[in-house]
Amino acid sequence: MNKKNIEKQDFGKVVLNEIVGGDPKAKKQKKSVWKAIQIPVLAIITGLFIGAILIAATSETVYAAFREGFFTGLGQAFKEIGTAYLALITGSLGNPVSIVAALKSGDAAAIRSAVNPFLESLVQSTPYIFAGLACALGFRAGLFNIGVEGQLFMGAALATYVGYSITGLPVYIHLPLAILAGALGGAIWASIPGILKVTTGGNEVINCIMMNYIAYRITTFLLTGPMSRPGTGGMPVSPIIQKTAEIPQFFQTPIRFHAGFLLALLVAFAVWWVLFKSTWGLNLRTVGTNPRAAKYAGLSIAKTTILGMALSGALAGLAGANEILAVNRSMAIGLSSGYGFDSIALALLGNSHPVGVILAALLFGVLKNGATRMMVVSAIPIDIVTIIQALILIFVAAPAIIRSIYRMRKVKEESIATVTLSSWGGGK
Amino acid sequence: MAPILQLKGITKQFPGVLANDHIDLTLNKGEILALLGENGAGKSTLMNILYGLYQPDEGEILVNDKKVTIHSPTDAIKTGIGMVHQHFMLIPVFTVTENVMLGSEPVKAGDFLDRPKTADKIREISRQYKLEVNPDDRVEDLPVGVQQRVEIIKLLYREAEILIFDEPTAVLTPQEADELFLIMRSLVKQGKSIIFITHKLREVLDVADRITVIRRGKVVGQADPKTANKNELAEMMVGRAISLVVQKEVKAPGKIVLSVKDLVVADQMKQMVVDHVSFDVHAGQVLGVAGVQGNGQTELVEAVTGLRKSVSGSVDFGGTEITNASPRKITSLGSAHVPEDRQADGLVLPFTVAENLVLCTYYQEPFAKGVVLQYDKILENSISLVKDFDIRTPSPLTAVGTLSGGNQQKVIIARELSRPIQLLVASQPTRGLDVGSIEYIHKRIVQKRDEGCAVLLISPELDEIIELSDRIAVMYRGKIIATVNADNVTKETLGLLMAGIVPEKIESAPNGEKVVETTF
């Protein structure tokens, strides 16, 4: 062991190593980063591959072509897959040809609309980032917060209320207030199962699911009653929020790219800092990894558990607030397309690390955005993308499948690297 | 005698470690071969290869001169190899018969279990090898020694010819261990062959026919128990001279540091497991608590260190009442705790060595400023402790879970002893460790005592208790049934006390040490 070498080490690398569970020696750095991401990367590739087969297998025209001849059929299959995935890519990242053309023309409006598919993907990713962080933080604290969806609704409701009901505040007070209201709504909702777990031993998984149901009904009641928009005749829609509570969008409609995305990145950084750089985070992670050792070290498991749930819920609330304040500008029942449940998948895909969660959220945003385009261009149902997402997650959740497909050797320290997953289904 | 088992050139490489380096081993029919080695020497790897849990990179296994490949424990059993694990693989709520038949259940009339048939066979085995056990008893009602017999019967039932005993005496009283040795002798007399893994030198000399010593993945020597002595063996194992006797000077006890009065503690089932226990620990003195595991020692320690609420009674530490105080408060008053189960309580295995070294102090200066962790200070601290306490780790940033047991324990010892403390509560501080680590940890504990620290030592190992303690309290069924002076007590007396038998007369200590006799 070379002690000097260790002393000189940059601590950023150290933290990275701690995340990937690798050896700190610089030589092995690349290897261990690859080790940490190889399963998700291979899972994505495999998912897209199986998706391609499904695209071909569900296409009428491919069957018709096969009746004409085997190679005609094969050609048609490849053509369909090509069209579909090309649409998926151009729909989510932009068409390189039109981007180059727009850049050449120098017309600002043209450039904006050429890069809009990409910007729209970022918009789609934003709630995924917040929700994914919520779940990831929960996992790090040994908590399976399956109630992100309900917390998102409660956060959104409170943010909406603060957003439309208060008038006459300057934007720099009103907007932060509305955002914080969102976080608070989620935090309060999440701390209830946290408190139940601590005081009664109630399993947070079950209680979170129940809290989801209650949250749906409460928001429905609010939107049709106290918070309904006057003049809509009982439609479950809230009033439109004040201009001062809006998270600004950078360009004119239809480009929806907004500052919420930057806020999400900022929050991800904050979560990383808290988890890995502060005593709070060490408390959370110690309780999450080994509660008995945490007790031995003098931590209050009760306090840490409630705090962990509240922080997780606050992040979920931010996801809701973001959708209201930046995109929808008013609250409706169809606020979330299951962000709360996808968040579990995101945390899993990102190994409960903020950077991993951002990458996973970008992937989800891209797939979701591209799928719409794919449906328009090649008439492939949007559900194919849902299936691809599901496949990717199955492969990440059951890495043995990927290992056997690619004949990888089992990593001995597996349980060490993916520590947070040991708490799954957990909660005593 | 013909060799029944031969290992030839067994090599196993793990990332960064050559666990087995061309190991040759021969086991003759009808003998007990002791396999001695430090933890991390490669004993377990070798036995796991033999038991089918690992595949060797090189080398071959011959059973009765025939080459075999063992892919799984099932293969191993088919080949006639069986292992008695340190931690029993029994289902407590099943009867002996059910446990024995599990996995190879005989059936009659279709799919009905044939319990009587198994029970008869168990009785037969039990008679043949003098393994007294009632097939109809539930395993959870049996003492540990008998449970171990059930494990042995399981192997004999499956007609194992080669039996591997992995640290079999760790959970036994001295008397139970002696009984086990008789059983082992009776097994080999009737043609079975045994590989006996242990780190207790006395046992090796008592029971083995031949001794093979492994160090750093290699066979470093053979010894004949008739001629070998403890010091030679220890030296062979560790590679340097070892002092097996802890040097400690006689000291007059200082002021009372820890005072426990009438303490009552209940377990999860609300059973009273610590029954009105009182004792004092003085500065500069080691109070050893002896007793077979499961007699309330664990709960006693938990109550003293704040991990478990007591029902009644009081605990006083240096003049401060700490009854049912929080662990953090007790720690911050200057108490250190080496927990019984290092992996469950003492360490966060996926965390780094550096983080584990500040597990109890990370929230304080200099390791944190406000809520900001000072990782450079944490790292500095770990580098110096790794050096001072000779922790063998690739780096302070290695996950502590990847270290060997001895080094994991050193991490705990380093963390607890490097703080300024007046009280050390050490619960089985050398459990499962090798001679080298034991020597080291014993020295560190005695050093703390000599510095004037009060030490409460809990251990089921008589040797350890006698070596280290100034006074010895024996716990039996939740009570301290006797407190004796360590200088003039025999192992036999302690053994009887541990079994709950108080001899008519316990010889009084010459220096006037009070001998407490409690009725029970």
For the entire predicted model, the pTM comes to 0.77
Q: Which pair of structure tokens corresponds to residue A133?
A: 């962080």
Biggest CA–CA distance in chain B, Å, is 74
User: In which band, very low, low, confident or very high, does the pLDDT at A424 lie, cut at 50, 70 and 90?
Assistant: very low
For every residue of chain A, which 3-state class applies, written as one string?
Answer: CCHHHHHHCCHHHHHHHHHHCCCCCHHHHHHHHHHHHHHHHHHHHHHHHHHHHHHHHCCHHHHHHHHHCHHHHHHHHHHHHHHHHHHHHHHHHCCHHHHHHHHHHCCHHHHHHHHHHHHHHHHHHHHHHHHHHHHHHHHHCCCCCCCHHHHHHHHHHHHHHHHHHCCCCCHHHHHHHHHHHHHHHHHHHHHHHHHHHHHHCCCHHHHHHHHHHHHHHHHHHHHHCCCCCCCCCCCCECCCCCHHHCCCECCCCCCCCEHHHHHHHHHHHHHHHHHHHEHHHHHHHHHHHCHHHHHHCCCCHHHHHHHHHHHHHHHHHHHHHHHHHHHHCCCEHHHCCCHHHHHHHHHHHCCCCHHHHHHHHHHHHHHHHHHHHHHHHHCCCCHHHHHHHHHHHHHHHCHHHHHHHCCCCCCCCHHHHCHHHHHCCCCC
Contacts of B326 in chain A (CB under 8 A): 298, 300
**Prediction ipTM score:** 0.78
Give percent of chain A with pLDDT exceeding 90: 53
In the predicted structure, residue B347 carries a pLDDT above the cut 60: yes
What is the identity of the amino acid at B416? E
Query: At a CB cut-off of 8 Å and minimum separation 6, what does A98 contact?
Result: A114
Report chain B's mean pLDDT, rounded to a whole number.
87
* Element spanning B325, H or E: none
Q: Residue A29: pLDDT band by 50, 70, 90 thresholds?
A: low
Dist CA B396 CA B374 (whole Å): 15
Tell me if A18 and B352 make a contact (CB, 8 A cut-off): yes
| Mean pLDDT to the nearest integer, A229-256 | 88
How is residue B506 annotated by DSSP?
Answer: P
pLDDT of amino acid B244: 66
Per mean pLDDT, which range of A49-58, A282-291, A308-317, A406-415 is the poorest? Answer: A406-415
Distance CA A322, CA A181 (A): 11
What's the pLDDT at B504?
Answer: 63
Instruction: Give A-chain residues touching B350 at CB under 8 angstroms.
Output: 21, 289, 415-416, 419
Residues B422-446 have a mean pLDDT of 87
CA distance, residue B86 to nearest chain A CA (Å): 23
What does the buried/exposed string (b/e) look like for A213-224 if buried means 16 or more CB atoms within 10 Å of the residue's CB? eebeeebeebbe
Pairing state of beta strands B256-266 and B272-282? Answer: antiparallel
Q: In terms of residues, how long is chain A?
A: 428
Cis check: omega of the bond before A248, within 30 degrees of 0: no
pLDDT band (50, 70, 90) for residue B1: low
- Interface residue of A273, A290, A353 to substitute, partner B, most B CBs within 10 Å: A290
Q: How much of chain B exceeds pLDDT 90, in percent?
A: 44
Using one digit for the tens of pLDDT, what is the confidence trace for A328-370?
999 998 888 889 889 998 998 888 999 999 999 999 999 889 8
Q: How far is A374 from chain B (nearest CA, A)?
A: 43
* Torsion, CA A42, CA A44, CA A49, CA A52, rounded to 10: 180
pLDDT at A233 over 90: no
Structural domains of chain B, ranges and CATH numbers in brackets: 3-238 (3.40.50.300), 244-334+420-520 (3.40.50.300), 343-419 (no CATH)
Least trusted range by pLDDT, from B296-300, B433-437, B511-515? B511-515
* First and final C-alpha spacing in chain B: 52
pLDDT bracket for residue A326 (50, 70, 90): very high
Q: B394, A21: Cβ pair inside 8 Å?
A: no
- One-letter amino acid at B143 equals P
Residues A147, A212: contact at Cβ < 8 Å?
yes
Q: Give the span between the Cα atoms of A148 and A313, in whole angstroms.
A: 7
Contact A23 B371 (CB under 8 A): no
**Residue whose structure tokens are 């300057």:** A170
Distance CA B414, CA A414 (A): 27
| Six-digit token string for B114 | 């044939």
Alpha-carbon distance of A346 to A369, in angstroms, equals 17
**pLDDT score of B19:** 84
Higher pLDDT pick, B39 / B287: B287
Cα separation of A306 and A293, whole Å? 18
In chain A, domain spans: 31-423
Q: For residue A265, with 0-12 CB atoms within 10 Å meaning exposed, 13-18 middle and 19 or more buried, which class applies?
A: middle
The residue that leads in pLDDT, A250 or B293, is A250
Backbone angles phi, psi at B341, to 5 degrees: -105, 95
On whether the CB atoms of residues B290 and B475 are closer than 8 A, the answer is: yes
Answer yes or no: do A277 and B399 touch at CB < 8 A: no
Q: What is the DSSP letter of B401?
A: G
Q: Distances from the Cα of A50 to the Cαs of A54, A56, A57, in angstroms?
A: 6, 10, 10
With beta carbons less than 8 A apart as the criterion, state whether B417 and B373 touch.
no
> Does position A196 have pLDDT exceeding 90, yes or no?
yes
Which residues lie across from B196 on neighbouring strands?
B34, B165
Residue range A80-115, pLDDT digits in tens:
899 889 988 998 998 888 888 888 888 888 888 888
Helix extents (H) in B43-109: 43-50, 73-79, 96-101
Whole-angstrom distance, CA of residue B408 vs CA of residue B395: 13
Find chain B residues with C-beta within 8 A of A300's C-beta.
326
Cα–Cα nearest to B436, from B236, B248, B286 = B236
> Which class for A51: exposed (0-12), middle (13-18), buried (19 or more C-beta within 10 A)?
buried
- For residue A414, give the nearest of A31, A35, A30 by alpha carbon: A35
> What token pair was written down for A399?
């890495």
CATH top class, domain A31-423: mainly alpha
Tell me how many degrees the CA angle B171-B177-B183 measures, rounded to the nearest 5: 120
Asked if B418 has any chain A CB less than 8 Å from its own CB, the reply is no
Cβ-Cβ contacts under 8 Å, B308 against chain A: none
Question: Cβ separation of A282 and B362 shorter than 8 Å?
Answer: yes
Three-state secondary structure call for residue B341: coil
B482 to chain A nearest CA, in Å? Answer: 30
pLDDT the model gives residue A419: 36
What three-state secondary structure class fits B336?
A: strand
B419 touches chain A (CB under 8 A): no
Residues in Cβ contact with B159 at an 8 Å cutoff, skipping those fewer than 6 apart? B80
Candidates B345, B363, B397, partner chain A, best to mutate (most A CBs within 10 A) = B397
pLDDT at A384 over 90: no
Check: CB of residue A315 under 8 Å from CB of residue A133: yes
- Greatest alpha-carbon pair distance for chain A in Å reads 75
CA of A211, closest CA in chain B: separation in Å?
31
pLDDT at A413 over 70: no
What is the spatial distance between Cα A377 and Cα B243, in angstroms, rounded to a whole number? Answer: 82
CB neighbour list of residue B517: distance below 8 Å, 6 or more residues apart = B481, B482, B502, B506
Work out the average pLDDT over B100-114.
76
Looking at beta carbons, which residues of chain A come within 8 Å of B298? none
Q: What is the mean predicted confidence (pLDDT) over B354-380?
A: 92
> What are the φ/ψ torsions at residue B488 (nearest 5 degrees)?
-130, 45
d(CA A283, CA A280): 5
What's the distance, CA B308 to chain centroid? 23
User: Does residue B380 carry a pLDDT above 50?
Assistant: yes
Tell me how far apart the alpha carbons of residues A367 and A361 are, in angstroms, rounded to a whole number.
10
What tokens were used for A286?
A: 């110690």
B125-134 core/surface letters (b: 16 or more CB in 10 A; e: else): bbeebebebe
Q: Which of B371, B380, B391, B415 to mutate to test the interface with A (most CBs of A within 10 A)?
A: B371
Give per-residue burial for A5-38: e unless 16+ CB within 10 Å, then b. Answer: ebeebeeeebbbbbbbbbbbbeeebeebeebbeb
